[in-house]
Amino acid sequence: MLRELLRSPQRWRYGYDLMKETELASGTLYPILARLDEFGWLESEWEEPAQPGRPPRRRYRFTSDGRAQAREMVLRAAELQRIIGRP
């Protein structure tokens, strides 16, 4: 999830799109997004629908601190994988 968000860290992303890109189920993805938002790693906002009758959508993007923290965590995970020899 962090790697996917880091591909375009300043771009607003929708949960549904992240679900498709990461292949995470909604019951896994949305709690992660909520936790990252609580930690201050993400900012989120509701976007009004472009078409009448559609529901508003929540979108997410990294804060500057969240971007730095995510990069550090991804680097640590890669180093750990290298040490233990797993892909």
CATH number at residue 69: 1.10.10.10
Query: What pTM was estimated for this model as a whole?
Result: 0.82
- The model's pLDDT over 6-42, given as tens digits with 9 standing for 90+, comes to 999 899 999 999 999 999 999 999 999 999 999 999 9
How many CA atoms does the CB half-sphere of 14 hold within 13 Å?
A: 9
**Number of domain units in the chain:** 1
Task: Give the domain extent around 73.
Answer: 2-84
Mean pLDDT of 51-56: 90
Percent of the chain with pLDDT over 90: 79
69/43 Cα distance (integer angstroms): 14
**Tokens coding 22:** 């990461």
- What band does 87 get if pLDDT is binned at 50, 70 and 90? low
Q: Which residue has the tokens 């990252």?
A: 36
Please state the rounded mean pLDDT for residues 36-57. Answer: 93
* CA-closest candidate to residue 58, choices 45, 42, 43: 45
Decide if 77 contacts 84 (C-beta within 8 A).
no
Tokens (6 digits) for 62: 């990294």
